[in-house]
């Protein structure tokens, strides 16, 4: 029955013939190939840093490691299949390939949103409620990380088993939630996903970082420049990095959310083809900007990366210079890890 649904949707929306020209498909394919290579290489470097330096393997840093894994997953599966289809001019992996491609993209995307939320909660407890933060154990982090993976798996499987569905989009070169078929199943699924995996995480992130900012300002104002704790300076560095990641998360996922809401409450046929392709491209872009943020916004991570590129030995990089997210150096959480 799923095959018939896909076939009927294809006939009604002319999925077999893309709304884009072959030149436009090649431009998109070029972008996907370049972005995919950058994403895979940069996230492998991130994982390499954590593998090289054992002291980085802390529960807190496990959030960053899992986020890098989701980015590599999208880059190694989503980017190549999209690029191949764009070069072909239409979706070339059939019904099963469409289900796998769309499902994995939803899986990794929802999981990455979960990890960003966990990161905000971790920063909040570390900075604003250190007593609670100290009581968080490795098992606590493992539970939260597993929860993010399970949440992603749940929302990826639901369209496969009947709640909404996956189908090629109007470009014909990628698969996603079948937002052109805005029936009750699609609308209910979309609204639930947007609330659970977009609105709620954003609310949690804004709440956490608002109170983190207030806490840091209070600490800074109550300490002279001479007595300003270096660990608090590191906390500020980490918090800036995290806030930048949240801002880029908004940039990446807002177009996709807008398309889904438009399809739910408006006429899907009136969604411009350009927006139909830009929305998933923006969402995929989240896979390569996170490593860039680590390097740009965090001095410690930048130093450790340069140390690897310079082939320095483990002893050549001081511990205090290679911990981008290691809260064990933070006096507020010194007994937590």
In a domain, residue 162? The reply is yes
In a domain, residue 1? The reply is no
CB 74 within 8 A of CB 320: no
Distance CA 257, CA 337 (A): 37
In a domain, residue 194? The reply is yes
Predicted pLDDT of residue 136: 84
In a domain, residue 246? The reply is yes
Predicted pLDDT of residue 207: 92
CATH of the domain at 125: 1.20.1070.10
Q: Which of 198, 188, 203, 196 is nearest to 265 (CA)?
A: 188
In a domain, residue 8? The reply is no
In a domain, residue 19? The reply is no
Could you tell me the sign of the dihedral formed by the alpha carbons of 73, 77, 78, 80, in that order?
positive
In a domain, residue 310? The reply is yes
Range of 93's domain? 26-333
Domain count, the chain: 1
Distances (CA, A) of 213 to 113, 117, 219, 234, 299: 21, 17, 10, 14, 20
pTM of the model: 0.80
| pLDDT in 10s for each residue of the chain, 337 residues | 444 444 444 433 344 456 677 787 888 889 889 888 988 988 888 888 878 777 667 777 788 889 889 999 988 988 899 889 888 888 889 999 999 999 999 999 899 999 989 988 988 888 888 888 778 888 899 999 999 999 999 999 999 998 989 988 877 778 888 877 778 888 899 889 989 998 999 899 989 988 888 887 777 666 655 445 555 566 666 677 777 877 888 888 888 888 878 877 877 778 787 787 788 788 778 787 877 777 676 666 677 777 777 665 444 444 433 333 334 434 333 334 3
In a domain, residue 36? The reply is yes
């Amino acid at each position: 029955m799923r095959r018939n649904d896909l076939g009927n949707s294809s006939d009604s929306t002319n999925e077999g013939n893309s709304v884009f020209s072959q030149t436009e498909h090649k431009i998109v394919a070029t972008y996907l190939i370049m972005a995919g290579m950058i994403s895979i290489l940069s996230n492998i470097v991130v994982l390499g840093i954590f593998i090289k330096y054992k002291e980085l393997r802390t529960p807190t840093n496990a959030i960053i490691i899992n986020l890098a894994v989701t980015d590599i997953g999208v880059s190694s599966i989503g980017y190549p299949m999209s690029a191949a289809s764009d070069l072909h001019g239409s979706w070339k992996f059939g019904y099963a390939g469409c289900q796998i491609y769309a499902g994995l993209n939803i899986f990794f995307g929802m999981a990455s949103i979960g990890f960003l939320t966990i990161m905000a909660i971790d920063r909040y407890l570390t900075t604003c409620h250190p007593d609670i933060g100290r009581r968080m154990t490795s098992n606590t982090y493992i539970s939260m990380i597993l929860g993010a993976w399970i949440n992603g798996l749940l929302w990826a499987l639901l369209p496969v088993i009947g709640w909404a569905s996956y189908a090629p989009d109007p470009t014909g070169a990628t698969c996603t939630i079948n937002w052109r078929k805005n029936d009750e199943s699609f609308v209910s699924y979309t609204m639930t996903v947007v609330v659970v995996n977009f609105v709620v995480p954003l609310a949690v992130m804004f709440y956490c970082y608002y109170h983190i900012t207030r806490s840091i300002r209070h600490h800074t104002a109550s300490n002279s420049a001479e007595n300003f704790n270096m660990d608090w300076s590191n906390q500020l560095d980490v918090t800036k990095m995290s806030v930048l990641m949240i801002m880029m998360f908004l940039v990446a996922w807002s177009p996709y959310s807008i398309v889904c809401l438009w399809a739910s409450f408006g006429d899907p046929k009136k969604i411009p083809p350009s927006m139909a392709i830009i929305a998933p491209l923006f969402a995929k872009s989240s896979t390569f900007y996170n490593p860039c943020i680590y390097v740009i916004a965090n001095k410690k991570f930048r130093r450790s990366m340069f140390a690897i590129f310079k082939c320095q030995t483990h002893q050549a990089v001081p511990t205090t210079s290679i911990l981008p997210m290691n809260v064990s150096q933070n006096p507020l959480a010194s007994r937590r890890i």
